Amino acid sequence: MINLEVPRKFAGLVNQAHQVAVEFFRPNSRKYDQAEHAYPKELDLLAAVLDGMNSSGEGATGNAGAGGVRRGKDSGGGIRNGGNLATLLGIIELCWGDVALLLSMPRQGLGNAAIASVADEEQLSRFGTKWAAMAITEPGCGSDSAAIRATAKLDGDHYVLNGEKIFVTAGGRAEAVVVWASLDLSKGRAAIKSFLVEKGTPGFEVVRLEHKLGIRASDTAHLRLENCRVPKENLLGSPEIEVERGFAGAMQTFDNTRPLVAGMAVGVARAALETTRELLAEAGVAVDYDRPANSQHAAAAAFLAAEADYESAYLLTMQAAWMADNNRPNSLEASMAKAKAGRAATEITLRCVELCGSLGYTENALLEKWSRDSKILDIFEGTQQIQQLVVARRLLGKSSQELR
């Protein structure tokens, strides 16, 4: 039986993450949104505190980034609430504060999640403390990860990487980048592997940083790899091309990280709803949970509909993370959570802007910023359309070749 209430053992984590959001993220949210590409130096101290918590075994807010996520081990039939759920709960609280500042935190990125998901123990010991970005999308390859054209050719003790990557979150600031590339383009999906490329490696270049609609405190980079030689030990996972298995090993990262992105969306949506409820109350609009929505003020009815949308996204997201902790296949649930939460956050934040009138549209409140930040959560880690395609394939039992 799945119990989707917050486990008592994570109460301290949730409280600490919320305090970080209240004391640092919210007060600095507007500042770093306006100062695009300026690195929030205050995050260095926060990251050091989180690293200390992780190394001491305390966990706490240190689990609140993507870096510590791994598949749960078989619990022998028992129920466990582990790192995935802890990470998700921390992310929800931090993104209630600010999504972009979370994405800017050292060693808490999606590249770190990839390392944690597929690296062996030796690689974890070498790369576990590095701040790693994730580089998948290419100029000619957006949502279809299987269409990647970056290549990796084995040459002695090194792989030679060539290609371009775009929209790389933290690509300019991170110490290393997890690059998806193909060992053999003729073998299709099965040949796609991930490689850790450290900054400063010859042939690796940050071309530019993008100017964006939202998450402006977070840097988004365009990268180029030209005859970039990477030690063969930096290939994450197995170097074998297993045609029957496809690129399931690389895609396993998404089963862990898609619920986390859904959690980001849940956090932003909750922030918008709470602020909107307060502003409606100040305007004399009461939201009554004991009366039918159609018998209340139109604004209250719209708010109740948005809140119901939020609750469904929250529950789907919790379920997907819980399944990962308990070693249950969750590809379907991860995509369902990402699709629902991404769409809900975008619709909820825009509806809140509308309900709050001038306070929602101007910079007097953070509502307009949250509406801008939320859109990316419906796009990266797989767009809305891709998630729906994954869900359809799973439910209908179709392969990617059968249902495109």
Q: Which residues contact residue 92 at a Cβ distance below 8 angstroms, ignoring those fewer than 6 apart?
A: 263, 264, 266, 267, 270
Strand runs labelled E in 187-318 = 192-198, 204-209, 220-231, 235-236
Query: Which structure tokens are listed for 126?
Result: 């070498």
Give the C-alpha distances (Å, rounded to integers) separating 77 from 1, 15, 85, 322, 327.
11, 30, 18, 14, 10
Phi, psi of 138 (to 5 degrees): -125, 165
Concerning whether 381 is annotated as a catalytic residue, the answer is: yes
Dist. CA 21–CA 36, nearest whole Å: 20
Can you say whether residue 77 is alpha, beta or left, with left for phi > 0 and alpha for psi between -120 and 50 degrees?
A: left
Q: Which residue reads 């929800």 in tokens?
A: 92
Residue in 138, 368, 381, 402 annotated catalytic: 381
Dist. CA 164–CA 136, nearest whole Å: 9
Report yes or no: 276 and 355 within 8 Å, Cβ to Cβ. yes
Catalytic annotation, residues: 381
